[in-house]
Structure 1
Amino acid sequence: MFDQSPPHGLPHCAGVGYKPQHFTQIMENAGSVGWLEVHAENYMGAGGRPLAQLAALAETFPLSVHGVGLSIGGEGPLDPDHLARLKALCDRVKPASFSEHLAWSTHDIGFLNDLLPLPYTQTTLTRVCAHIDQVQDLLGRQMLLENPSNYLAFAESQMSEVAFLTEITNRTGCGLLLDVNNVFVSAVNQQTDPLSYLDAFPLDKVGEIHLGGHDEDTDDHGAPLLIDSHGAEVADPVWALLDHVLQRAGPRPVLIEWDTDVPDWTVLEAQAARAHTALATVQA
């Protein structure tokens, strides 16, 4: 069985998504950054420089391992080879946190290079919970599940996203990763209220918060369309939503995600410093 203690493994401070080009600067002076997150699939090899650097980082910083390829919502069984590599990675670096997405990316024998949405039905709920139970039992640790960024809604959904996530935590004991940028992106795209979403969210289950940038576009009807790109600074409305969450929930580990068009370390560290200030304000 996995450890069912509350998801408080990471320090309640600012972290960043680690990129190899920043290794030297992070090791010399991390600034406001107190922990790092890595994508699991980048470190599933048998050795080499990536794992050597990861081992060095793990000696200095708490780590969060963030999966993008399990396809937790997929209709088929989870890939046993992928699970074995994930377990080997977690056993090797002993991260303070492990997380995955509420999404699917597999079909039959194919892998789709995207995180695709799910209808919120009882059938989907049962499947997702079974997959989470399998992952947690294999890893021997709690998993955090991330809320998605949505561009459409399914007519067959039988419950809200928040109700769906809450029921998953009740059935499996998993925690939640609250991506505030995803909340904002989904609210704009579906013309809903992000504050209402956050006020209903089970914040006591949140073990990690993500912030990231998005791109602005318009759909075929001229309505605003936001794309969760992770390729820009965090937008001011997202910072405001973070303040709202922290005021209600208290300090949590807050991560800056920046995965495309990765900037110089000084830019990324400045975003972490802003998250540090938001956390300090709440703590004060």
Structure 2
Amino acid sequence: MNISIENQVGVGLRRQHHDYFQQNRPDIGWLEIHSENYFRPGSVSHTTLMSLREQYPISCHGVGLSLGSVDQLNPAHLAQLKTLVDAVNPILVSEHLSWSSVDGQYFNDLLPLPYTEEALDVFCRNVSQTQDYLGRQLLVENPSSYLSFSHSTMPEWEFLVEVQRRTQCGLLLDLNNIHVSAFNHGFDSKAYLEAIDPTTVQEIHLAGYTVSSTDSGEIWIDTHSRPVSEPVWHLYHYWVAKHGMCKTLIEWDADLPEPDVLLNEAQKARDIASEALTSSQVESAS
């Protein structure tokens, strides 16, 4: 395999770490931003980003398009996203399998969809319109979820696969989200992965989660506030050994650690990917 593992692993860039990356320029393959934090050209954050893009490939990861809403896409938001994408020329642009607005009212959360034909039509419409407007492919990320809709007619993985088939978008597989949702809803993480065409996956997210207790029992929450768990590392090893390497991100959004912690997690991803690829090659040769 002629892919450099070193260049394939990145970390999420957060405002608190801007100075560190500017001053130290650590050896990391790429950086991923939350798009909406850089919508203001001329702002300090935007200026910093334009400096860092000279050193690192940048990926734009959005949280505000609300692709699952029956509302029409917000034209102002789309215009700001296109301005950012045109300025940065990112290696990847991604969004979520979720919704966050209704009748023009926005919620500060990524809300789950019912997995029905009606929701599929709406989501695909919005993905296609976004790709047409940006003039490039969008990646769609699988969510973490804590409830399901009784009137869903298909599992999440079938919905996601059909979105990709209809729109020709790419997929961003968040392995932590799969692990969390598998526990919360009682499905098998590897069965989910087996349903995904690996050729459509262009990015993988790795993150940490929090265990919470409720009156109804234990629930796992995708908080992005701690190191990647061992079961998620195992899923990552499984995927890379079977399908090879793609862009991999260490995602950490809350209770941010020192940058060295993020970089150590990135090194662990490189080490696990290297071992997975080696074991796969040995198995193929035997």
TM-score relative to the length of structure 1: 0.93
Report how far residue 109 of structure 1 moved: 2.1
Structure with higher RCO (Cα < 8 A, 6+ apart): 1
Amino acid at match of 1:214: Y
**Identity among equivalent pairs (%):** 45
Which of 251, 259, 275 is the matching residue for 1:257?
A: 251
Change in CA separation of 1:220 and 1:109 when aligned onto 2, cut-off 3 Å:
same
Q: How does 1:57-136 map to 2 (within 5 A)?
A: 57-136=52-131
| Alpha-carbon distance in 1 for matches of 2:27, 2:207 | 17
Q: Structure 2: which amino acid aligns with 1:219?
A: T
- Whether 1:226 aligns to 2:220 is yes
Matches within 5 A, 1:180-199: 180-199=175-194
Alignment of 1:150 with 2:154, yes or no, is no
Alignment correspondent of 1:276:
270
Give the 3-state SS of the residue equivalent to 1:105 in structure 2. Answer: strand
Residue 175 of structure 1 aligns with which residue?
Answer: 170
Asked whether the equivalents of residues 145 and 176 of structure 1 are also in contact (C-alpha less than 8 Å), the reply is: yes
Say whether residues 1:217 and 2:217 are aligned partners.
no
Q: How many angstroms does 1:20 deviate by?
A: 2.6
- Check whether the contact 1:11–1:253 (CA below 8 A) recurs between aligned residues: no
Which residue is 2:41 aligned to?
Answer: 46
Amino acid at match of 2:209: H
Cα root mean square deviation, aligned:
1.7
| Deviation of 1:283 (Å) | 3.8
Q: 2-side partners of 1:11 and 1:154: how far apart?
A: 41
Q: Secondary structure at the match of 1:197?
A: helix
3-state secondary structure, aligned to 1:125: helix
Deviation readout 1:41-85 (Å, 9 max, x if unpaired): 000013121111101111111111000000000111010000000
Asked whether the 8 Å contact 1:251–1:282 carries over to 2, the reply is no
Q: Spell out, residue by residue over 1:138-169, the C-alpha distance to the aligned partner (whole angstroms, 9 max, x if none).
A: 10000000001011111111111111111111
Matched residue count: 275
* SS class of match (1:71): coil
C-alpha offsets along residues 164-188 of structure 1, whole Å, 9 cap, x if unaligned?
A: 1111111111000000000000011
Give unmatched runs, 5+ long, in structure 1. Answer: 1-7
Give the letter aligned to residue 281 of structure 1: E
For the residues of structure 2 that align with 1:27 and 1:253, how far apart are their CA atoms? 22
**Contact between 1:83 and 1:135, CA under 8 Å: does it hold in 2?**
yes
Are the equivalent residues in 1 in contact too, given 2:71–2:104 (CA < 8 A)?
no
Matched residue, 1:3: none
Q: Which SS does the other structure have where 1:68 is aligned?
A: coil
Q: CA-to-partner distance for each residue in 1:103-124, whole Å, 9 max, x for gaps? A: 0000112110000000111111
Structure 2 regions of 5+ residues with no counterpart? 279-286
Q: How far apart in 1 are the matches of 2:118 and 2:188?
A: 27
Distance in 1, matches of 2:226 and 2:134, equals: 33
